[in-house]
Amino acid sequence: MALIADDLSRVSIHLATMQKSIARHDLPIWRQLTRCFESILLIRQDKPEEGLRGLSETLSEMDQQGASPFYSLLRCEGVQGMAMLGLNQQALATIDETIRIASSRDERWFLPELLRVKGQLLLKDATPSSRKYVNELLNQALIQAENQGAGFWRARIVFDLAQSVALTRP
């Protein structure tokens, strides 16, 4: 939750706990998740190139082993790292693939956030006509968040939707 709320000091504390734990009990999935969260922290600390490289390598390993309940969250963080590096087309392709994967797995809990992030990516290069699509996308995310009773997702989406609507007004 600290990661989603962008509380980087708490993320660091939890990450240190994970690192100590894997030092005592080297379980492969926990080692991989720890590496992912270390990489995400780098992305969030404005070191997207280094963080994205580590996250991509670890996600590739995880892909070979099968599904993880955090897969969509981890890929979404990678998408945001791509966007920070100006790799918007790659970020959009990855978010679309992640939405498809999350829809086909039991990761629908994260779909509102994936749709919100896709909306943010599209807003970066939006034209007046594409802003309408972004608003529709964000409304779709809002409906999903409300159906899930996910107040946190709802709040983030409402904020982005208000920004998007403000941009579409003449």
In angstroms, the CA 160 to CA 170 distance is 18
Inter-residue contact 144 to 115 (CB < 8 Å) = yes
Kindly list the distances between the CA atom of residue 132 and the CA atoms of 77, 122, 168, in Å, as whole numbers in the listed order.
25, 11, 8
Q: Nearest CA to 11 among 33, 47, 51, 38?
A: 38
**pLDDT tens digits, 112-143:** 999 999 999 998 887 877 888 999 999 999 99
Over residues 74-85, mean pLDDT? 95
Task: Check whether 144 has a pLDDT greater than 80.
Answer: yes
pTM for the model:
0.84
